Amino acid sequence: MLVSDLTYEASLIDQDVVPGTGDEMELRLSYAKVRSLKEKLPGLVILPSHDFGATEAIEQATQGNLGSGSEK
């Protein structure tokens, strides 16, 4: 799940650490929604757009098999 600029690191959502910008209450409500969805979908990968670990998270979620696009 691409959460874009909601957070800078996926782990901060679990820690309820919001960035210094934006409406804090709205951010916390959004964090709660993401956590709730993750509870319902345990394999869900959270991808913030500025998280340096996002590439690794994508590789793990796809088991390193993004493919070349030529699979049939």
β-pair type (2-4, 47-48): parallel
Tokens for 44?
């869900």
Tokens 């709660």 — which residue?
32
β-partners of residue 48 are 4
Task: Provide the sign of the torsion angle of the four alpha carbons 42, 36, 26, 17, taken in this order.
Answer: negative
pTM of the model: 0.75
Q: Which tokens go with 33?
A: 């929604």
- The predicted pLDDT at position 15 comes to 95
Two tokens at 19? 């960035």
Task: Give 39-62 pLDDT, tens digit per residue.
Answer: 999 889 898 888 887 788 888 878
